Structure formats: structure tokens, C-alpha cells
Amino acid sequence: MNIEERVRHIIAEQLDMPMERVVAEAKIEDDLEADELQLEIIMEMEDEFGFKIPDCESESLQTVGDFVERVKRMSPEG
């Protein structure tokens, strides 16, 4: 799996929904209704990819695409 697929898989798994709903433009809070699970998603990303997303940056992660881009920037795989 590439980074985008891994990120989408983590989000889909955390939200217990099919990956087809987890598209780049989907807003985590509005479209996927995951406002209270955003912290769990971030923690899973940190575990999966081996780096910390600073709290001050977590608020800027609004869409699935934002998560993908953030991971790509921080990951040696990106």
C-alpha cells in the first residue's frame, strides 16, 4: 500500500466505514462525522508512520487529503 492508501485505511478503520467514503476531499468533521475521533486518528497515524504531529498542527488537518499531505511531508517514504 502507498501512503495515501495507508492513511485512508487508518481513517476508514478508526471510523468503521468503507474506504470508498474516505476520499481526499472528505472533511473529517463534516463529511465523515469524526470530530471526537480526530485525536485517535492522529495517534494512529503517529504510530503507523513513526513521527509526532504537533498539537498546533493538528487543527489544520481538516480533510483526508490534509492528512495524506502531512504524512508525505514527514515520512521518509514520501
Q: Report the b/e string of 16-34 with b at 16+ CB within 10 A.
A: eeeeeebeeebebeeebeb
> Checking phi first, is residue 26 left (phi over 0); if not, alpha (psi -120 to 50) or beta?
beta
Residue 71's closest CA among 17, 27, 13, 9?
9
- For residue 31, indicate whether it is catalytic: no
Give the active site residue among 16, 30, 31, 35: 35
Residues designated as active site:
35
